[in-house]
Structure 1
Amino acid sequence: MELASSKSPKGKISPDGNILLSPAIRALFVQCIALLLSYLLYNLDKEFFAISLSPYLILVAHSLFAVLISIMLRLKWWWWLIEFIFPYAVVASLVYQLSPGYSLLIFVLMVLLFWSTYRTQVPYFPSKSSLLPCILEQMPTMPGLRFIDVGSGFGGLSLNLSRARPEQHFYGVEIAPFPWLASWIRARFSSGSAEFFLGNYLTLDFAGFDLIFAYLSPAAMPALWEKAQAEMKKGALLMSYEFPIPGIEADLQIKSSANDPVLYVWRI
């Protein structure tokens, strides 16, 4: 199978295509401002209060400053967590004198795993095993149905579905190299018939699929809906796990248990 390119102009990755507006650049800006505020706090204490704040308290203050600024800039909640942990990770690497080789290895692994998260605002989210029967219950049983998981990660969902429905066709597309490679290798040794492709789902033509599944992020949902509306054929299904499309009521909402995220289903 060849994944067709989309001619739709829908679905910008970042506002106006400006990398300076991407969340990762803003996250770096947050850390710089938090560092400046922490430095000012240290000097104010030394000059006027003489409380002698410990380095640990300054580190805590830095992390809290970073979280507050992230909230003010309306970054997504997972950036708050990253901003809070980042200073501790830097200090830990210095205290334990992490080898440059290990640092490089961690950096390369993070790049391969998260790749263009700084642009797409779509981090890796693993889905729960309880999702599988929910999808199967709503998926038409017609032979030859074409399903694609956009942002397929390590490929578990498409592989499991292909084993359950061998008469249908299952695909996954993933932009991060490491998860894609892992899914491609898994497919080679799996009894299922799923196929995985390295690429950006925004370049696909959704018209070639009967069911689009997405487990992305809140930031990606408006563009996904515009693309689905422009390209998917009438009667096709769009499913999103956990994240709804703002302002668009789903035709169906499914929860396998009280503690599981919702599976949203729209019929185009």
Structure 2
Amino acid sequence: TLPMGLARWWLPVQAVAPVLVWVVLGLQPPVWVFPVVFVGLLAVYWNAVGEGVPLYLTNPKTWRAVENLLPEQPGVRVADLGSGLGGTLWHLSAARPDVRFEGYETAPLVFLFTRLRLLVQPRANLRLRFLSLWRADLGMFDVVYCFLSPVPMARLYAKARREMKPGGLFVSNSFAVPEVVPDNTIQVDDGRRTRLLVYRM
């Protein structure tokens, strides 16, 4: 894993990007192409600009590890803060139809993608919200999952402590809460050595 928790596949992306820019400039595209590309990237990586939270995608092995953390009793409610393209939510909502899931996302194009996905792959126990995680009422949830960045973790944990019910689980993918020891750490057997840091309220 690279600094800031970036996966190693970002290295070739960063290496190739300057070459692509050089090629595109050589093609001399119409001037309107550049602002369109900029707006498109901004609509995808909106949270990286405003919150310091890039678009991270949870992998399938980690989906299953999160699934194993969910309480067995029916009626449980789970939030995914920064739900991205929805992979985690679609896996969990299919695996646990007795549980209610709610995803929060504010990157416009990413949210639009998941809304369209919900039309194609409907889930009766899944709700998507175009709403900042800071405005989410965490008191409604028994489990809160997030895969964000180091930047918001201290503030988000404080919010979880204020709002979540005693016994609730706050689960962070990879990024620890500063100066707080997790109650449990799950090591996922995947290529990036993912850790799930579990904090009990």
- SS at structure 1 position matched to 2:194: coil
Whether the 8 Å contact between 1:146 and 1:208 is mirrored in structure 2 is yes
Give the CA deviation at 1:89. Answer: 6.2
Give the CA deviation at 1:86. Answer: 7.6
Poorly superposed stretches of 4+, deviation over 6 Å: 81-89
How far, CA to CA, are the matches of 2:199 and 2:4 in structure 1? 25
- SS at structure 1 position matched to 2:170: strand
How far, CA to CA, are the matches of 1:115 and 1:251 in structure 2? 32
Give the CA deviation at 1:213. Answer: 0.3
Partner residue of 1:67?
none
Identity rate, percent: 29
Partner residue of 1:115?
46
The alignment's C-alpha RMSD in Å is 2.4
Question: Paired residue for 2:80, among 149, 153, 159?
Answer: 149
Question: Paired residue for 2:105, among 174, 179, 188?
Answer: 174
How far, CA to CA, are the matches of 2:173 and 2:101 in structure 1? 17
Report whether the alignment pairs 1:198 with 2:130: yes
Give the direction of change, closer, same or farther, for the CA distance of 1:221–1:97 in structure 2 (3 Å limit). same
Give the CA deviation at 1:96. Answer: 3.1
Give the CA deviation at 1:192. Answer: 2.6
Whether the 8 Å contact between 1:145 and 1:168 is mirrored in structure 2 is yes
Question: Paired residue for 1:137, among 45, 68, 81?
Answer: 68
Whether the 8 Å contact between 1:132 and 1:157 is mirrored in structure 2 is yes
Give the CA deviation at 1:241. Answer: 0.6
How far, CA to CA, are the matches of 1:111 and 1:142 in structure 2? 41
Question: Paired residue for 2:58, among 123, 127, 141?
Answer: 127
How far, CA to CA, are the matches of 2:84 and 2:27 in structure 1? 32
Partner residue of 2:195?
262
Whether the 8 Å contact between 2:5 and 2:174 is mirrored in structure 1 is no
Give the CA deviation at 1:226. Answer: 1.0
How far, CA to CA, are the matches of 1:258 and 1:152 in structure 2? 20
Partner residue of 2:115?
184
Q: Residue 155 of structure 2 aligns to which amino acid in structure 1? A: A
How far, CA to CA, are the matches of 2:198 and 2:43 in structure 1? 31
How far, CA to CA, are the matches of 2:158 and 2:26 in structure 1? 48
- SS at structure 2 position matched to 1:196: strand
Q: Residue 261 of structure 1 aligns to which amino acid in structure 2? A: T
Partner residue of 1:242?
174
TM-score, structure 1 as length reference: 0.65
Where structure 1 has 5 or more consecutive residues not aligned to the other structure, the ranges are 1-74
How far, CA to CA, are the matches of 1:90 and 1:189 in structure 2? 35
